[in-house]
């Protein structure tokens, strides 16, 4: 079974047993989330964001033995990242004026969006590899039709319709997971 398809709890258990491939998967799985919390929710400068990013994974590695619930690794990493971002902002604010929007109170709405975005990215695993690639390249990596077409060896003139079809499939999947969403109007 591919590591990418294993649930979080099994990845954590494998990491705890010293499986380095599982650790690489754990970092890959949560890297976007941690990065987004640093840069979008707390608007850290790149050099601060990089230090927090490495600190988050360093502490995660050290604390794997003491996690109360392997399933709860995502909220645990989310909380740790928030705490380290706040520490970084407070340390910086002793020396310079910080952006008020970067203070913790302004981050809650963004965190909600990022949690939802994480769920959508997880749901993308249900799509074909081609759909996943197209959606990720176009929206998350901001690649042009031309770049996507060249990378995936498909005519760039068909990218827009493929994006539309892949989004429709993703929507069906999300509504299937959350039936209430499909009934609201």
Q: Which residues bind another protein (CB under 8 A)?
A: 18, 20, 23-24, 27-28, 31-36, 40, 50, 53-54, 57-58, 61, 113-114, 116-118, 120-121, 124, 135-136, 139-142, 164, 167-168, 170-171, 174-175, 178, 180-182, 184-185
First to last CA, the chain: 40
- CB-facing half-sphere around the CA of 3: CA atoms within 13 A: 16
Distance CA 34, CA 27 (A): 10
Nearer to another protein, 119 or 154 (CB): 119
Nearer to another protein, 69 or 178 (CB): 178
DSSP 137-157: IIIIS---HHHHHHHHTS-GG
Least separation in angstroms between residue 165's CB and another protein is 10
Nearer to another protein, 81 or 102 (CB): 81
Nearer to another protein, 102 or 131 (CB): 131
Cβ contacts of 21 within 8 Å, gap of 6 or more? 3, 14
Burial zone of 44 (CB within 10 Å; 0-12 exposed, 13-18 middle, 19+ buried): buried
Least separation in angstroms between residue 39's CB and another protein is 9
Dihedral through CA 74, CA 55, CA 80, CA 170, nearest 10? -30
Least separation in angstroms between residue 98's CB and another protein is 22
Least separation in angstroms between residue 83's CB and another protein is 18
Nearer to another protein, 83 or 121 (CB): 121
């Amino acid at each position: 079974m591919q590591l990418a398809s294993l649930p979080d709890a099994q990845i954590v258990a494998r990491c705890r047993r010293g499986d380095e491939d599982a650790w690489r998967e754990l970092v890959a799985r949560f890297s976007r989330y941690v990065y987004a919390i640093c840069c979008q929710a707390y608007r850290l400068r790149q050099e601060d964001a990089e230090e927090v990013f490495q600190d988050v994974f360093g502490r995660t590695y050290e604390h794997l033995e003491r996690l109360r619930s392997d399933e709860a690794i995502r909220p645990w990493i989310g909380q740790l990242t928030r705490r380290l971002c706040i520490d970084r902002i407070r340390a910086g604010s002793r020396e310079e004026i910080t952006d008020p929007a970067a203070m913790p109170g302004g981050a809650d709405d963004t965190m909600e969006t990022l949690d939802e975005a994480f769920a959508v990215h997880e749901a993308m695993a249900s799509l074909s590899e081609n759909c996943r690639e197209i959606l990720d390249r176009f929206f998350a990596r901001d690649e042009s039709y031309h770049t996507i077409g060249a990378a995936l060896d498909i005519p760039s003139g068909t990218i827009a319709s493929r994006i539309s079809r892949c989004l429709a499939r993703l929507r069906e999947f999300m509504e299937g997971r959350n039936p209430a969403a499909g009934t609201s109007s």
